[in-house]
Chains A and B, each alone.
Chain A
Amino acid sequence: MTVIDDVLPGDDGQVHLRLYVAGQTPKSLAAIANLKRLCEEHLAGRYTIEVVDLQVTPQLAAGDQIVAVPTLIRRLPPPLRRVIGDLSNAERVLVGLDMIPRASAS
């Protein structure tokens, strides 16, 4: 279950997200579910989610400077943004990823 590739890459408005988790903990599962729901709501059709389980591939943790899990990283478009936590606070996720203008978020 390491990588879930959703929908077309290459588009201009494409958002490439990578979610780091560690094992099938309740927090991990919650984060994955929350992320999918948010993306469907706000980025339908123009996002990619890659889930990395560090229990399986621990060598990837250092490369992206992962300390806390779950960590969500927006790889594209630049700049690189990161959000930590189980993503239960939707508003903070959207602000953190800079996916929606702050005005409309409130």
Chain B
Amino acid sequence: MTDRVAAQDHGAHKAPPLQKTPTGIAGLDALTFGGLPEGRPTLMCGAAGCGKTLFGITFLVKGIEEFGEPGVFMSFEERQEELSTNVTSLGFDLDDLVARQKLVVDYVRLERGEIAQAGDYDLEGLFVRLGHAIDTIGAKRVVLDTVEALFAGLEDSATLRSELRRLFAFLKAKGVTAIVTAERGEGQLTRYGIEEYVSDCVILLDNRVIDQVTTRRLRVVKYRGSSHGTNEYPFLIDEQGITVLPITSAGLAHEVSSEVISAGVAGLDAMLGRHGYYRGSSVLVSGSAGTGKSTLAASFIDAACARGERALYFAFEESAAQVTRNMASVGIDLQRHRDAGLLKFEAARPSLYGFEMHLARMHRDIETFNPSVIVVDPISAFRGPSVEVNATLLRLADICKSRGITALFTSLSSSGDAMTDSERNVSSLMDIWVSLADVEANGERNRVLSLLKARGMNHSKQLREYRLTDQGIEMVPVYVGPEGVLTGTARAAQEAREREAERARQDAVANRRRVLELRRIAVERQIAELQAELDSEEAEVTRMSEQDEAHAISRNADRSIMSTLRGDL
């Protein structure tokens, strides 16, 4: 049998492109570009509590439910009843799958104290069991959950090693895609070094506690014959099973849209130059406590839902009901969008998981709900090293961008103008930065909005005062002048002063106009007099010339009379 298997082993490497078996675990298939190597064993190692068993069961159950591939689960640690109970919370019904002949769970019990060794042995018994289980249901997938238990249960590790080598060859010969789990060892991947035998694909699971927050991570250590994501990827185990977040699969090659969507506040749209945010952009709304960050976010969501788009609201400080109630008080009715199924809240305390977990959870929620806008309220709730926060947000922004989702992040900034570290880091990721400030002057506080940046838009550079009314956010023009920014009553007073000055100016103009009018009348009168004078002179001249003519005629007449009298004829 060994020879046949060896021949098969050699042949496998000449085969055309590596076929892959999808695990059905979102994210893992993405980072391995299709799944696990088909017909080969994959080693999954990790310390206790990393989720190795769960990975195995998910692989089998998804295989049955989504790909129609029956599976065999050979457990060296837990009985079928225990396994069934453990995964019931994930919605997996193992007993039903077993009853339907889609799954075989074989519990292998090894108790060193009960077994005496007398002479050479081999593991043909295990092979027979496995082979029988595979053949009975036509299994395509096999999971051996901690095969290393053999080392604890049996003596003679030299025999075990050669038998394990044969076992993996046997699995390959059977053409099943297998997951072999193993405990993490000191200085090597597994306690008994079985990575030596399973060399096609090795996946390492890790469970790290940093600042009292646990994050599960996964890394594909090697994948013979295929490229794969090489980073550590966070993964999540919760009531929806396992979710792996392939971070670097989000590149900078996403499509951009020139479509503009409303920010939900008319005045703000006008300030943005293009009458809204570009679709798919990341918007940061920063401000101190009580400046209306959530309200601005809710306005944005309200506008999106009113257009019939889907929106996802990640709340880290308030519950869904609380946000809904509070927004109703400023005239934003989120409940109707929730009822219509357009708006979904995902509320969780930031301390519930590490960032990676939150990111993984958000990623999954985005995948399943498929929103066109999301709100994260607030990102400042994430406490931790700013490098990590930054990386988390970068990936979230990338996830949104690659899907054309417009994301609005709110951030609580500390009082005062100084930019916090995390804010500075985050700001470079954002396309639009709306700053909400609380300006304190003359014994009152007034809210002022400004746009610190808006990529690709000729935005207003003005500070604008706004009010939270029961009709939502209302923008008010702010007085900006030599005396600085004036808001509230100071603005009103300044406006009154300006009105006064304006009136005075208008009075002066009217005065000048009156004077001018009088002067025009005087001048016109003078002109009329001169004209009259000129006219009378002209008349005189005319009269004189007429008289002159008359004299000439009479002279001629006289002359002819006199000539007649002399008798000149």
Interface residues of A (CB under 8 A from B): 20, 22-23, 25, 27, 30-31, 34, 54-55, 58-59, 61-62, 65-71, 80-90, 92-93, 95-97
B128 touches A54 (CB 8 A): yes
Q: How far is the CA of A16 from the CA of B258 in the complex (A)?
A: 84
Contact of B128 among A61, A86, A95, A96 (CB under 8 A): A61
Residues of A within 8 Å of B133, CB to CB, are: 62
Count chain A CB atoms within 10 A of each CB in B119, B120, B153 and give the residue with the most.
B119
Interface string of B130-150 (1 = CB under 8 A from A): 011100000000000000001
Give B136's nearest chain A residue, CB to CB. Answer: A59
Q: How far is the CB of A95 from chain B (nearest CB, A)?
A: 7
From B103-111, B170-178, B553-561, the one touching the partner chain is B103-111
B121 touches A69 (CB 8 A): yes
Give B116's nearest chain A residue, CB to CB. Answer: A96
Q: How far is the CA of A30 from the CA of B133 in the complex (A)?
A: 28
B116 touches A68 (CB 8 A): no
Q: How far is the CA of A23 from the CA of B128 in the complex (A)?
A: 11
Residues of A within 8 Å of B154, CB to CB, are: 67-68, 84
In B90-126, the 8 Å CB interface with A consists of 106, 108-110, 114-126
Contact of B121 among A34, A58, A84, A93 (CB under 8 A): A84
Q: How far is the CA of A70 from the CA of B123 in the complex (A)?
A: 9
Residues of A within 8 Å of B519, CB to CB, are: none
**Leading 4 A-B pairs by shortest Cβ distance:** A96-B116, A85-B119, A58-B132, A92-B118
Q: How far is the CA of A23 from the CA of B121 in the complex (A)?
A: 13
Q: How far is the CA of A61 from the CA of B109 in the complex (A)?
A: 12
Known A68-B154, A82-B116, A83-B115; judge A54-B121 contact (CB<8 A): no
Residues of A within 8 Å of B125, CB to CB, are: 20, 22, 54, 61, 66-69, 71
Residues of A within 8 Å of B525, CB to CB, are: none
A67 touches B116 (CB 8 A): no
Q: How far is the CB of B127 from chain A (nearest CB, A)?
A: 8
Q: How far is the CB of A37 from chain B (nearest CB, A)?
A: 13
Give A91's nearest chain B residue, CB to CB. Answer: B118
B116 touches A92 (CB 8 A): yes
Known A54-B125, A62-B129, A84-B154; judge A67-B110 contact (CB<8 A): yes
Known A68-B154, A82-B114, A82-B116; judge A58-B122 contact (CB<8 A): no
Q: How far is the CA of A86 from the CA of B133 in the complex (A)?
A: 26
Contact of B124 among A22, A88, A90 (CB under 8 A): A22
A84 touches B129 (CB 8 A): no
What would 29 A/B residue contacts be, using CB atoms closer than 8 Å? A20-B125, A22-B125, A22-B128, A27-B122, A54-B125, A54-B128, A61-B128, A61-B129, A62-B129, A62-B132, A66-B128, A67-B126, A67-B129, A67-B150, A67-B153, A68-B122, A69-B121, A71-B125, A80-B114, A81-B116, A84-B116, A85-B117, A85-B119, A86-B119, A86-B120, A88-B118, A96-B116, A96-B117, A97-B116
Residues of B within 8 Å of A92, CB to CB, are: 116-119
Q: How far is the CB of A53 from chain B (nearest CB, A)?
A: 10
Residues of A within 8 Å of B109, CB to CB, are: 65
Q: How far is the CB of A98 from chain B (nearest CB, A)?
A: 9
Residues of B within 8 Å of A66, CB to CB, are: 125-126, 128-129
A69 touches B122 (CB 8 A): yes
Q: How far is the CA of A45 from the CA of B440 in the complex (A)?
A: 106
Q: How far is the CA of A11 from the CA of B454 in the complex (A)?
A: 95
Count chain B CB atoms within 10 A of each CB in A67, A81, A84, A93 and give the residue with the most.
A67
Give A31's nearest chain B residue, CB to CB. Answer: B119
Q: How far is the CA of A61 from the CA of B132 in the complex (A)?
A: 9
Residues of B within 8 Å of A97, CB to CB, are: 116
Residues of A within 8 Å of B108, CB to CB, are: 65, 67
B126 touches A58 (CB 8 A): no
Q: How far is the CB of B129 from chain A (nearest CB, A)?
A: 4
Q: How far is the CA of A26 from the CA of B125 in the complex (A)?
A: 15
Contact of A59 among B119, B122, B132 (CB under 8 A): B132
Give me 9 other A-B pairs in contact (C-beta within 8 A), A61-B129, A65-B109 excluded: A27-B120, A62-B132, A62-B133, A65-B110, A66-B125, A68-B125, A81-B114, A92-B119, A95-B116
Give A93's nearest chain B residue, CB to CB. Answer: B118
Residues of A within 8 Å of B119, CB to CB, are: 30-31, 34, 85-89, 92
Residues of A within 8 Å of B122, CB to CB, are: 27, 68-69
B115 touches A82 (CB 8 A): yes
Q: How far is the CB of A101 from chain B (nearest CB, A)?
A: 16
B118 touches A96 (CB 8 A): yes
A84 touches B128 (CB 8 A): no
Q: How far is the CB of A2 from chain B (nearest CB, A)?
A: 14
Q: How far is the CA of A86 from the CA of B117 in the complex (A)?
A: 9
Residues of B within 8 Å of A84, CB to CB, are: 115-118, 121, 154
Q: How far is the CB of A19 from chain B (nearest CB, A)?
A: 12
A85 touches B124 (CB 8 A): no
A83 touches B117 (CB 8 A): yes
Q: How far is the CA of A47 from the CA of B129 in the complex (A)?
A: 28
Residues of B within 8 Å of A34, CB to CB, are: 119
Contact of A89 among B110, B118, B123, B124 (CB under 8 A): B118
Q: How far is the CA of A86 from the CA of B146 in the complex (A)?
A: 27
Q: How far is the CB of B474 from chain A (nearest CB, A)?
A: 74
Q: How far is the CA of A11 from the CA of B124 in the complex (A)?
A: 34
Q: How far is the CB of B370 from chain A (nearest CB, A)?
A: 45
Q: How far is the CA of A27 from the CA of B119 in the complex (A)?
A: 9
Residues of B within 8 Å of A22, CB to CB, are: 124-125, 127-128
